[in-house]
Amino acid sequence: MSDHHHFPEELLIEILKRLPVKSLLRFFAVCKSWYILISSPAFISVHCRHHRNGNSATNLLLLLRRYATSYIEEKYSVLNDTDHQLLTLNNSFELDLPISCGYGYFCTVGFYNGVLCLSDDYYFYNMATVSLWNPSIRQARILPFRPAHPFRFVLGFGASPRSDDDLKVVRVMYERKGVNFDIGPVTPPLVEIYSLSTGVWRRITATGVNYYIFYYNWTQVFVNGAVHWIGYKLLEDKSFQSLIAVFTMADELFDEIMLPDELALEYPTNLSIMVFEEFVAVVKYTERIHADWCELWIMKEYGVVDSWTWLHTIELVGGMTKIVGFRKNGEILLSTNKNELVSYCPNTRVVNDLGISGDSSSFYVDKYLESLVLLKPQTHLVN
């Protein structure tokens, strides 16, 4: 390798960006110039985009999080999502979480660019800390603690479109109208953003935001460069209108996306936002707890209200409670009131027990992606 300095860098990047993270970490020992190249923000972004866009075998992998009550610990597994095969823990591998939650288990905010965002607000949200963890490089970062006492708050997680490795966490907080806990919140909310590039929280204004983000068992998705939550407006006649609250990471502004009448007139507590394939999706339940059935809707053209399309109606039989994820072959993964994960085929309506157990509200499923994000050590990095 004595002449590696004369190897064209463009060709070297084309080769290296196709390799798994484990191989790249080994190459740190080749020479200093390779270390500098692989750990550079530019290469981290190129590598991340290549693998995120489906040019990798990791496309067939799913990340599964669950809280195993028998072991009293969180389990993070990577499963093979091969078509036409039952999704099982056979041939899966476990990920070792290097941080611990103070009470119960972490709330999974999201998984983006190979990094999990976790919050320990499941029981004591006023004292919650937020952590970022990249399991493929076995590094995590605990964000600076920011005490807060809002009436309610939600978190969003994504990245600046200008840089794949500049992850951002946004915290939206609504203050109380009065001293009594049962007096509702006010708008606009207080908004804080943590950026990985700066390592600090900062406050921004949310002028003109006159809707509320649904906070109980909230979900968020990062699509099209923006965070999306289920929200709602209180109308003049004291009725409500459900919607999708949007926060764009590039310009750090709020917006909203309207829902079709079939969803807009539904209680926000009965709605959940997800990603189906590459589409923003909303699941409508007949009620928040003990629902009889649910509907899956997708927005085929981003931001266009008329493109909302009903996709499936699922009868929640056999103890099925809620949708937690989707397989590449079109099967839908649901949790049950027996603390199990099952798969449902919408074409045949066949339900398969996967032999995977965990607290029913702890299941989280997403496409698994390896990345080098969080690679550079920091003073508050956890190994």
The predicted-structure confidence for 34-76, as pLDDT tens digits, reads as follows 888 888 888 888 888 888 776 555 568 999 999 987 778 899 9
pLDDT of res. 381: 36
Question: How many CB atoms sit inside 10 A of residue 313's CB?
Answer: 11
Element spanning 321, H or E: strand 320-326
Q: Please answer whether residues 244 and 228 qualify as being in contact, where contact means their C-beta atoms are separated by less than 8 angstroms.
A: yes
Q: Please answer whether residues 184 and 151 qualify as being in contact, where contact means their C-beta atoms are separated by less than 8 angstroms.
A: yes
Question: Is residue 100 pLDDT above 90, yes or no?
Answer: no
SS3 category, 133: strand
Phi then psi for residue 14, to 5 deg, are: -60, -35
**For the stretch 16-48, what's the b/e string if a residue is b when 16 or more beta carbons lie within 10 angstroms of its beta carbon?**
bbebebeebbeeeeeeeebeebbebbebbbbbb
If one compares 123 and 170, the residue with the highest pLDDT of the two is 170
pLDDT, average across residues 95-122: 88
Encoded tokens for 128 = 């919650």
- Can you name the residues that pair with 95 across neighbouring β-strands? 76
Q: Which amino acid is at 106?
A: F
The percent of residues in the chain predicted with pLDDT above 70, rounded, is 90
By DSSP bridging, strand 212-213 and strand 220-223 are unpaired
Q: Which amino acid is at 118?
A: L
Question: Is residue 377 pLDDT above 50, yes or no?
Answer: no
pLDDT, average across residues 258-285: 96
The predicted-structure confidence for 67-95, as pLDDT tens digits, reads as follows 987 778 899 999 999 877 889 888 889 99
Q: How would you classify residue 355: left for phi > 0, otherwise alpha for psi between -120 and 50, otherwise beta? A: left
Mean pLDDT for all residues in the chain: 87
Encoded tokens for 226 = 């923006």
Ordered by start, the domain boundaries in the chain are 4-38, 49-376
How far, in Å, CA of 214 to CA of 198, rounded? 29
Q: How far is CA 172 from CA 168, 189, 375, in A?
A: 13, 6, 28
pLDDT of res. 183: 57
The percent of residues in the chain predicted with pLDDT above 90, rounded, is 56
Calculate the CA 152 to chain-centre distance.
Answer: 20
The predicted-structure confidence for 10-25, as pLDDT tens digits, reads as follows 888 888 889 888 888 8
How far, in Å, CA of 173 to CA of 171, rounded? 6
The predicted-structure confidence for 284-335, as pLDDT tens digits, reads as follows 999 888 899 999 999 999 999 999 999 999 999 999 999 999 999 999 999 9
pLDDT of res. 117: 96
How far, in Å, CA of 219 to CA of 272, rounded? 6
If one compares 204 and 26, the residue with the highest pLDDT of the two is 204
Angle between helices 9-16 and 41-52 (to 10 degrees): 40
How far, in Å, CA of 324 to CA of 328, rounded? 14
- Which range of 94-98, 308-312, 376-380 scores highest in mean pLDDT? It is 308-312
| Angle (nearest 5°) at CA 349 between 347 and 350 | 115
Q: Which amino acid is at 81?
A: D
49-376 under CATH 3.90.870.30, yes or no: no
pLDDT, average across residues 349-371: 93
Q: How far is CA 359 from CA 71, 78, 258, 321, in A?
A: 11, 18, 33, 12
